[in-house]
Amino acid sequence: MKSKRPAIIAVGRTKFGEHYEREPERLIEEAWLNASSDAGIERKDLEAGYFSDYFLPITNKLGLEEGFLSELTELHVPMEVTRSFSSALINACNAIQAGRYNVVLVGGMEKMTDRWDKIRDDLMLLEDPWSYYAGCAPEANHELMLRAYIKKYGIKGEDLEKLDIALAQIAVKNHIQALKNEYAQYRRKITVEQVLKARRNAKKPLGLYDFAPISDGATALILTSEEFAKKFTDDPVYILGSSSATDYLTFPAREDRTGFLVSRIAMKNALDKAGVDLWDIQVLELYDQSTLMEMISLEDLGFCERGKAWEKVYVSCQNFRGYYEINGKRLFVNTNGGLKADGNPLGATGGAQIYEVYKQLKGEAGERQVKPDGELKYGCVLELEGFGTKGYVHILGRG
């Protein structure tokens, strides 16, 4: 029902990167303060909190995160902790729509660089225990998917060269877009040749510049009921539809290894709930843990024909003007630089994606703004857990 739409009235975040000198509580505090000052919300207004992190108990010895957050906020309201920001957000949306709360803080934080050597094994187990016990690194499944994709669609010769270049162009494109993002971890240009050279040096189909970095950071948003939102703003951004789906943890056991079933299911359900047509969406945040994942997601979400996304990327990036041109439509993808250049502090990553779409829809993205205020109506966020084991899609809109 329209009257039950959860509304985002403010967002906040930190810069992503290596924050060795900062405790996680300082990061989430900064993100919360940025959001609260934007909306004029105080701690006493919060009725509940939903937060996310993957590794704080390991990296920072935080056992019961809810208690840690209670100390930080000096509140005793209900709080819950999940893995991904999208999971926290869906739980908050459900609570708002059920009439349980009127105003909720949703936040995510991660301090991955503090103990990168410790959590690398844990990251592999998140991806796929079968691959872990086979001696693979976290990047292995991306390469397996790429090989399966090439084989399934019979890509060879000149087309294979174009596919390789298209994946490199995705990395280059995201670094270009991160130049305008003050919060991005990597604000520097790279070239297609650098991406290709890194692959040659590694003697692998994907190299250093094809993968998102390890990051620290925090994000936050304030979610309210639609009625409550009108007390603070005349122009909130609504979560029109959210959905999630789950697939087998073991990647080789899945029926299709050239895409993510969870993305397809979640996108269909989110569009149905939102009552929005696919091509009404103009701005899109994809979960590009690798360049391959951005390309695959264009197919999974329905914007490109299966086995053909690389062609659209290759042509669009020959003279890149800030968007992919697909079927005569302009699709603005990862305008913040994506995980590749903005950064990837797992528990906070989905919040950065929501932050970007919110800012774009509000016309507040500064140099990154893709269209004048009021011309963008709908945006979409895809967040994944593991290697496509869980998928979340959110459709955001104005008015």
State the CATH number of the domain containing residue 105: 3.40.47.10
**What pLDDT does 3 receive?**
56
- Which whole number is the average pLDDT over 251-274? 96
Distances from the Cα of 127 to the Cα of 94, 136, 247, angstroms: 28, 10, 12
Q: How far apart are the first and last CA of the chain?
A: 14
Side-chain-side CA neighbours of residue 144 (13 Å): 17
CA dihedral 64, 65, 68, 69 (to 10 degrees): -140
Residues 191 and 193: their CA atoms lie apart, in Å, by: 5
**What pLDDT does 132 receive?**
77
CA dihedral 343, 111, 93, 41 (to 10 degrees): -100
For residue 30, being part of any structural domain is answered with yes
Residues 152 and 145: their CA atoms lie apart, in Å, by: 10
Structural tokens at position 394: 């959110």
- Which whole number is the average pLDDT over 79-86? 95
- Which whole number is the average pLDDT over 21-49? 91
Q: What φ, ψ does residue 277 adopt, rounded to 5°?
A: -80, 145
**What pLDDT does 375 receive?**
86
- Which whole number is the average pLDDT over 314-325? 94
For residue 207, being part of any structural domain is answered with no
- Which whole number is the average pLDDT over 285-307? 98
Helix residue spans in 179-335 (DSSP H) = 192-202, 226-229, 261-274, 291-300, 309-316
For residue 98, being part of any structural domain is answered with yes
**What pLDDT does 138 receive?**
79
Report which of residues 277 and 132 the model is more confident about.
277
Domain of 44, in residue numbers: 2-116+214-229
Q: Give the bridge partners for 239, in sequence order.
A: 396
For residue 139, being part of any structural domain is answered with no
Residue 337 has pLDDT above 60, yes or no: yes
Among 36-40, 127-131, 170-174, 369-373, the least confident range: 127-131
Q: What φ, ψ does residue 9 adopt, rounded to 5°?
A: -110, -10
For residue 223, being part of any structural domain is answered with yes
- Number of domains making up the chain: 1
- Which whole number is the average pLDDT over 12-26? 94
- Which whole number is the average pLDDT over 288-299? 98
Residues 89 and 351: their CA atoms lie apart, in Å, by: 9
For residue 351, being part of any structural domain is answered with no
**What pLDDT does 122 receive?**
80
Q: What is the mean pLDDT of the chain?
A: 94
**What pLDDT does 2 receive?**
52
Residues 229 and 231: their CA atoms lie apart, in Å, by: 5
- Which whole number is the average pLDDT over 75-89? 95
Confidence band of 1 (pLDDT split at 50, 70, 90): very low
Residue among 299, 259, 291 at smallest CA distance from 148? 259
Plot region of 22 (φ>0 → left; ψ -120 to 50 → alpha; else → beta): beta
Structural tokens at position 362: 């509000």
**For the chain, percent of residues with pLDDT exceeding 70:** 99
For residue 179, being part of any structural domain is answered with no
Residue among 328, 261, 350 at smallest CA distance from 301? 261
For residue 83, being part of any structural domain is answered with yes
Q: How many CB atoms lie within 10 A of CB 122?
A: 16
Structural tokens at position 311: 């062609």
Helix residue spans in 65-202 (DSSP H) = 65-73, 85-97, 116-127, 129-133, 140-152, 158-178, 192-202
* Cβ proximity of 263 and 300 under 8 Å: yes
Residue 380 has pLDDT above 60, yes or no: yes
Model's pTM, two decimal places? 0.96
**What pLDDT does 9 receive?**
97
Q: What is the pLDDT of residues 162-196, one digit of tens each?
A: 999 999 999 999 999 999 999 999 999 999 999 99
Report residue 176 CA to chain centroid gap. Answer: 18
